A and B are shown apart, each in its own frame.
Chain A
Amino acid sequence: MAIAGAGQLNLHESPCWGSRSVDCFEKLEQISEGTYGQVYMAREIKTGEIVALKKIRMDNERGFPITAIREIKILKKLHHENVIKLKESVTSQGAKDEQGRPGKCCPIPINNLLLGATKYSPAVDMWSVGCIFAELLHGKLIFPGKDEPEQLNKIFELCGAPDEVNWPGVSKIPWYNNFKPTRPMKRRLREALGNQEKAPATATTRRKGQTTEITAFTASCRLPPIQSGQAHAQMRPGPNPPLHGSQPPVAAGPGHHHGKPRGPAGGPGRYPANGTNGGFNHQNHGGGYSSGPYPPQGRGAPYGSSGMPGAGPRGSGGSGYGVGAPNYSQDGPTEVLVLDVALT
């Protein structure tokens, strides 16, 4: 078996799946430890090839974890430079390891109902989608709470505290009174996310003029009377989002339009004056985003530097922005994050 060159894999020469033992590899060091298990840098003894080994804990009660089954299936299907390639799966005594090459992976969000709500609905899923996009924009977890109260607090800090005005019926939710914030909180999602300059590169790529509108925060902001959700059951320490009213620490580059003053950005009359800020439509008509110097962003992935389409200055057009926000708003104040998404 030949040694793969840098950035390449011997994917075609892989032995039969699951036929080999993990002893074919020599563990060099632990790279990280995730929810599912540890990840090691390892060398294949025979070929010297450097790979990442991810150990999947076999649940003695349940066998192969469903999350791992899904992960393997999806990884086998995905072919993208920013996504790890799954090369082989090997076994150790009673355990199953996965072998691939380091890449970037998004944490998989897990829906959850908060405040004692018991009913799932599409709105909960929409919330999750919104959280994923927000995370892409943000470069890190947006609600890194380690338990339900903390999680809720993070959400309130960013999305504003729910009350009967912006969420009719919220006080009837079982645990609302227990978790009700003690001080008023304003919505500051736009400030928190709108200033992430790498946002355009990741989430607003246009393809064939096709615009997909993702109503990311609709569900959460409308906060339908029965659901709320959280996106991340995984816990990772992350810095708190910037404080209220303060300018986010990220310096705006030239031509950066996100941080424009709050106000009726979404158009007059779209948002009732009830305390929710401006709006979350990126009213960025025309070539808005320029690639100014991006300050370092914690563990944020260097989007824009990896040949991601749209990394450069946004060209002409801009027709996709803020156009025709989906009609989700019949029954309450709604803020909508409109993103162009490249569908590949």
Chain B
Amino acid sequence: ENKQKPGDVIEGSFSDLKKCSFSSSIYLHLHFLEIEEKRRPLPDYIEKVQNDHITVNMREILMGWLVEVTEEYKLVSDTLYLTVSYIDIFLSAHSVSRNKLQLLGVSCMLIACKYEEITPPGIDDFCYITDNAYTKEEVIEMEKDILKLLDFKIGTPTTRNFLRQECYPNYQELQLEFLSCYLA
């Protein structure tokens, strides 16, 4: 999580400028995207959509595992947040069986990696990390379903964007706090 991200370099050199001229319009744009209905997960999808397939507990386990994957592959935290938002949006629309939940997790992470990472892990890496519970074809098929549902809009704002936007001096701590809130 301590990896230097390319964004940070630009952010550093641009931070003053950002604050004075772009900050508010960036925020407004992110907010505009955030309030789009289709980009928001249902707050109660576990009860409403999942019909006992997926429980809060199972989601928590999945998220915990994805955090480990993030660390294992040294992914940036934005990728993790993005993954989580894809998962929630997907689970708000489709009922997913228990044995496919991890597949959803890795496929979402695959997409998030492509969006966020400079050198994203390949599908093989994601199959490997699930102990080859799923085949490449299954991951690709799931990826297709996710993209279709997201309407190819994969650049969705996450809590991370807003946290960064707020520019808290100690946002690393806040981020952890937020993450634990998220998992709870």
Residues of A near any B CB (own CB < 8 A): 17-18, 58, 60-64, 66, 69, 72-73, 76, 91, 94, 96, 119-122
Contact of A121 among B9, B144, B154 (CB under 8 A): B9
The B interface, classified by DSSP as helix, strand, loop or mixed, is helix
> B115: CB under 8 A from chain A?
yes
Q: CA separation between A36 and B40, bound complex, in Å?
A: 32
Contact of B151 among A61, A76, A94, A120 (CB under 8 A): A76
Q: How far is the CB of B73 from chain A (nearest CB, A)?
A: 14
Q: CA separation between A18 and B160, bound complex, in Å?
A: 32
In the complex the two chains form, is B148's CB within 8 Å of A63's CB?
Answer: no
In the complex the two chains form, is A63's CB within 8 Å of B153's CB?
Answer: no
In the complex the two chains form, is A122's CB within 8 Å of B14's CB?
Answer: yes
Q: CA separation between A64 and B140, bound complex, in Å?
A: 8
Interface residues of B in 80-139 (CB under 8 A from A): 110-111, 114-115, 120, 122-124, 136-137, 139
A73-B152 CB under 8 A given contacts A18-B144, A63-B143: yes
A18 cross-chain contacts in B, Cβ below 8 A: 144, 148
A58-B140 CB under 8 A given contacts A18-B148, A69-B147, A76-B152: yes
Q: CA separation between A119 and B4, bound complex, in Å?
A: 13
In the complex the two chains form, is B152's CB within 8 Å of A69's CB?
Answer: yes
A64-B143 CB under 8 A given contacts A69-B154, A122-B14: yes
In the complex the two chains form, is A62's CB within 8 Å of B122's CB?
Answer: yes
Number of interface residues of B (CB under 8 A): 25
In the complex the two chains form, is A64's CB within 8 Å of B147's CB?
Answer: yes
In the complex the two chains form, is B6's CB within 8 Å of A120's CB?
Answer: yes
Q: How far is the CB of A227 from chain B (nearest CB, A)?
A: 12
- Nearest A-chain residue to B117, judged by Cβ: A66
> B10: CB under 8 A from chain A?
yes
The A interface, classified by DSSP as helix, strand, loop or mixed, is loop
Q: CA separation between A63 and B143, bound complex, in Å?
A: 8
- Chain B, residues 8-51, CB within 8 Å of chain A (1/0): the string is 01100110000000000000000000000000000000000000
In the complex the two chains form, is A73's CB within 8 Å of B9's CB?
Answer: no
Residues of B near any A CB (own CB < 8 A): 6, 9-10, 13-14, 110-111, 114-115, 120, 122-124, 136-137, 139-140, 143-144, 147-148, 151-154
In the complex the two chains form, is B152's CB within 8 Å of A72's CB?
Answer: yes
Q: How far is the CB of A182 from chain B (nearest CB, A)?
A: 34
Q: CA separation between A252 and B108, bound complex, in Å?
A: 55
In the complex the two chains form, is A73's CB within 8 Å of B154's CB?
Answer: yes
In the complex the two chains form, is B154's CB within 8 Å of A63's CB?
Answer: no
Q: How far is the CB of B40 from chain A (nearest CB, A)?
A: 18
In the complex the two chains form, is A122's CB within 8 Å of B120's CB?
Answer: no
Q: CA separation between A72 and B114, bound complex, in Å?
A: 15
A121-B13 CB under 8 A given contacts A69-B152, A69-B154: yes
Known: A64-B143, A69-B152. 17 other contacts (CB 8 A): A18-B148, A60-B136, A61-B124, A62-B114, A62-B123, A63-B110, A63-B114, A63-B139, A63-B143, A64-B111, A64-B114, A64-B147, A66-B115, A73-B153, A73-B154, A120-B9, A121-B13
In the complex the two chains form, is B144's CB within 8 Å of A69's CB?
Answer: no
In the complex the two chains form, is B152's CB within 8 Å of A63's CB?
Answer: no
- Nearest A-chain residue to B140, judged by Cβ: A63
Contact of A62 among B10, B13, B120, B144 (CB under 8 A): B120
In the A-B complex, list the 4 residue pairs whose CB atoms are closest, starting with the nearest. Answer: A73-B152, A66-B114, A61-B122, A72-B152
B124 cross-chain contacts in A, Cβ below 8 A: 61
Q: CA separation between A63 and B147, bound complex, in Å?
A: 11
A58 cross-chain contacts in B, Cβ below 8 A: 140
Q: List 13 A-B contacts (CB under 8 A).
A: A58-B140, A61-B123, A62-B114, A62-B123, A64-B111, A64-B143, A64-B147, A69-B111, A72-B152, A91-B144, A94-B140, A121-B10, A121-B13
A60 cross-chain contacts in B, Cβ below 8 A: 123, 136
Q: How far is the CB of A71 from chain B (nearest CB, A)?
A: 9
In the complex the two chains form, is A122's CB within 8 Å of B10's CB?
Answer: yes
A63-B123 CB under 8 A given contacts A76-B151, A96-B144: yes
Q: CA separation between A91 and B153, bound complex, in Å?
A: 19
B143 cross-chain contacts in A, Cβ below 8 A: 63-64
Q: CA separation between A241 and B147, bound complex, in Å?
A: 42
Q: CA separation between A333 and B9, bound complex, in Å?
A: 25
A61 cross-chain contacts in B, Cβ below 8 A: 122-124
- Nearest B-chain residue to A124, judged by Cβ: B10
A94 cross-chain contacts in B, Cβ below 8 A: 137, 140
Q: How far is the CB of B178 from chain A (nearest CB, A)?
A: 27
- Nearest B-chain residue to A66, judged by Cβ: B114
B14 cross-chain contacts in A, Cβ below 8 A: 122
